[in-house]
Structures are given as C-alpha cells and as structure tokens.
Amino acid sequence: MTSAPTGLPLHRGDHGLAVRDLHRRLGAAGFNDLGDLDRFDDHTEKALRAFQASRRLVEDGICAGQTWAALVDADYRLGDRMIYLRSPMTRGDDVTDLQHRLGSLGFDAGWLDGIFGPDTERAVRDFQHNQGITPDGVVGRETVAALERLSGRRSGDKTVAEVRDLERLRDHAGITGQRLVIGETGGLPAIVDGLARRLRFAGADVVTLHQPDLSDQARAANAWDGQAYIGLTLADDGHQVSYFEIEGFTSHGGRALAQRCAMALTSLFGTELPARGMRLPILRETRMPAVWCRLGPAPAIVEHAAAVTDALQQAVTAWCDDTADSLSTE
C-alpha cells in the first residue's frame, strides 16, 4: 500500500490495520523496537520520533500526512526497483539518491525532490550516453552499477542543483520585481494577506495560497515560477523556522531566508529561534528557496498578528537585498 491509510493522523492509543502497517514500515526503515504490533503505544511513539528525527521532520510522535509520505519514500534504496518516467511519477528515497549522484557527477537532474520527472530522466539519458549504456532513461541494474563505480567522484564542490540554487540568487536586486509565493494551511489568512499587501506595495509580485494540501501549494508555486516560497502554519508548541536540507545538499537561498525570518521572530518574541534544516515535503517539492514557519501558540499569534506581519516583511525584504555571495556563505 502506497497511499495514505484512512484514519490519519495516527497517535498513541490507536490500533488496527493502519497501526500494523505503520509498524511494518518503521521496521523496514530500521526502527524495530515496536512493542505490540497492533497498538500504537509508547514504543511506537519513541520509534516514530526517532524516525522523524532521522528524516528531519517535525518530531511530534504523530503519524500524519508528511510522516506517512516519508515512510513510503523510505521503502526503497537505489537498485531495489527499476525506475523510469511514468504517471504518476515515481517517488522515493531511491530517486533522491539517484538525483544526488547524478548532480554530483555534473548531470542536471533538477531539484532534489525525490520525484522521477522529465528533468531526472534527461539526466539519466545523458549519464547513460556518457557511460556507453543504451540511453533509454530507465534506471536498471546496468545504470545503477555505473553509478556505483563512480561513487565518491564529484564534478565540483557543489551539485548541479546547488549551483542552480546559487545562480538564482544572482538575480537579487532588491524587492522590486521579485516573484514571491506566500502560503498557509489554515488559521493565518490575515497574516498571509497582510504580508502580501506589504510586499506588493514594496514592488514585489506576490501570489497567495490558502489551502491545506501542501503538495498542491508546491505545484502552484512551481507552475508560477516563484523565486521564493514562504509558508506559514499554526503550531501548539511554539515557533520554528525551517529550510530544505538533506544529507549532501543544502538550499543556500532557503537557509539565508530562514535565518532572516528566524532573527526577525526572535527579536519580536524575545526567544532565540534558530533556523533548522529539514526535509519537509513542502520544502523539498518547491523548486526554489523556501521556508516553513510554524507559529504558535495560536492566541499569541492572533494577538501579535500585525507585529508578525511586519517582522516577516522586513525579513523578506532584507533577504531580497542580500547578495548571492553573502547568501552562499551564511
């Protein structure tokens, strides 16, 4: 089963087939101290938190949509299955590994989103042609073996995706004309719309997204060809600002934008708020510098809505004024 089971989110006290499937996937990912396989108990929560930490997800011990998607992605390692362009597109850790290997060797596989799309297929064909393999775009045993032979080699200090991320930043020339996407999943429409108005007044082109499905938000942001994505959501456990980072890849633009937002919110609330590298689907699937801001608790955010809007506007404007060189070294 690859689709999300009914009954999400799963949390302590739940039981049944969905919990058993959760245990199976946690065990396959290497988290085996699970206790009663039919019950979501303390053992399950501990294992789930450990999995979430290993995947740079929110460590809440609850299996909601993003954690479930990460569990599904973790089902495969490169070489476990044949990968090719299909509909719906293939997703998984094996695809992320493939994209990273190709990018490290100088082949442009696109953003490291773990989705085998046209950009990744073209990179596979180019790699196959370079290695004297039939360039059919299918990642089978011969292609995986060639990638393994070249393991550890790099075409430069950065992958192609990292180079492109930095090149996009060279277009920075202030806020005027910047194409910005601001999204929220519910509960923060006033802050999102207020931030959009302020940024438009400053000269930016801004689109707002008010929808709970973050994959839909990512697709809309990519289709609009935004230059940055700022996502907001309410949280019960305080504030957190994150950017896209996985082993071997960091979005430099996203990190710098997250640091700007974190500093602004730290000044506002008086609590140190470091920017954190994570691999949340919304950060991974938006092919641009992106930040995800969890703000809470709700009463404090509602009370300080105007101040939060002002702080984020100043952060985004300052980021747009940064130079590419400063962003790449922060």
- Give the tens place of pLDDT for each residue, 148-178: 999 877 666 677 777 777 777 666 668 999 9
The answer on pLDDT for 1 being more than 50 is no
Using DSSP, state whether 107 is helix, strand or coil.
Answer: coil
- Give the tens place of pLDDT for each residue, 48-71: 999 999 999 989 999 998 899 899
Cα separations (Å) of 86 from 17, 115, 116, 222, 301? 30, 11, 8, 20, 43
Whether the Cβ atoms of residue 80 and residue 92 lie closer than 8 Å to each other:
no
- Global confidence as pTM: 0.86
Place 326 in a pLDDT band, splitting at 50, 70 and 90.
low
Contacts of 71 (CB under 8 A, 6+ apart): 22, 25, 26, 29, 51, 63
Measure the CA–CA gap between 28 and 9, rounded to whole angstroms.
20
Measure the CA–CA gap between 85 and 87, rounded to whole angstroms.
7
Q: Give the pLDDT mean for 291-303.
A: 91
Instruction: Please report where in the chains the tokens 């999102």 appear, as a residue.
Output: 192
Q: Give the pLDDT mean for 116-128.
A: 97
How large a percentage of the chain has pLDDT more than 90?
Answer: 70
Bridge partners for 276 per DSSP: 242
Measure the CA–CA gap between 275 and 290, rounded to whole angstroms.
12
Q: Which CATH number fits domain 93-157: 1.10.1040.50, 3.40.80.10, 1.10.101.10, 3.40.50.11540?
A: 1.10.101.10
Contacts of 201 (CB under 8 A, 6+ apart): none
Measure the CA–CA gap between 319 and 317, rounded to whole angstroms.
5
**Quick one: pLDDT at residue 324?**
47
Phi and psi angles of residue 13, each rounded to the nearest 5 degrees, phi first = 105, -20
In the structure encoding, which two tokens stand for residue 217, read together? 């938000």
Measure the CA–CA gap between 135 and 18, rounded to whole angstroms.
41
135 cis-preceded (ω within 30 degrees of 0)? no
Measure the CA–CA gap between 28 and 92, rounded to whole angstroms.
14
The answer on pLDDT for 122 being more than 80 is yes
Q: Mean pLDDT, the chain, as a whole number?
A: 90
Compute how many other C-beta atoms are within 10 angstroms of the C-beta atom of residue 314.
Answer: 17
Measure the CA–CA gap between 279 and 75, rounded to whole angstroms.
17
- Give the tens place of pLDDT for each residue, 87-103: 999 999 999 999 999 99
Q: Where in the chain is the domain with CATH 1.10.101.10?
A: 93-157
Place 126 in a pLDDT band, splitting at 50, 70 and 90.
very high
DSSP state for residue 173 in the 8-state scheme = S
Q: Where in the chain is the domain with CATH 3.40.630.40?
A: 166-324
The answer on pLDDT for 323 being more than 70 is no
**Quick one: pLDDT at residue 270?**
87
**Quick one: pLDDT at residue 238?**
74
Angle between helices 65-73 and 17-28 (to 10 degrees): 50
241 sits in which H/E element: strand 240-246
Which of 202, 207, 210 lies closest to 288, judged by CA? 207
Place 27 in a pLDDT band, splitting at 50, 70 and 90.
very high
Indicate if the alpha-carbon torsion angle 154, 159, 163, 164 is positive or negative.
positive
DSSP state for residue 181 in the 8-state scheme = E
CATH of domain 17-73: 1.10.101
**Quick one: pLDDT at residue 159?**
78
- Give the tens place of pLDDT for each residue, 221-256: 999 999 999 999 998 877 889 999 988 788 999 999
- The third-level CATH classification (topology) of the domain covering 166-324 is Aminopeptidase (3.40.630)
Measure the CA–CA gap between 35 and 42, rounded to whole angstroms.
8
- Give the tens place of pLDDT for each residue, 264-289: 999 998 888 889 999 998 999 999 99
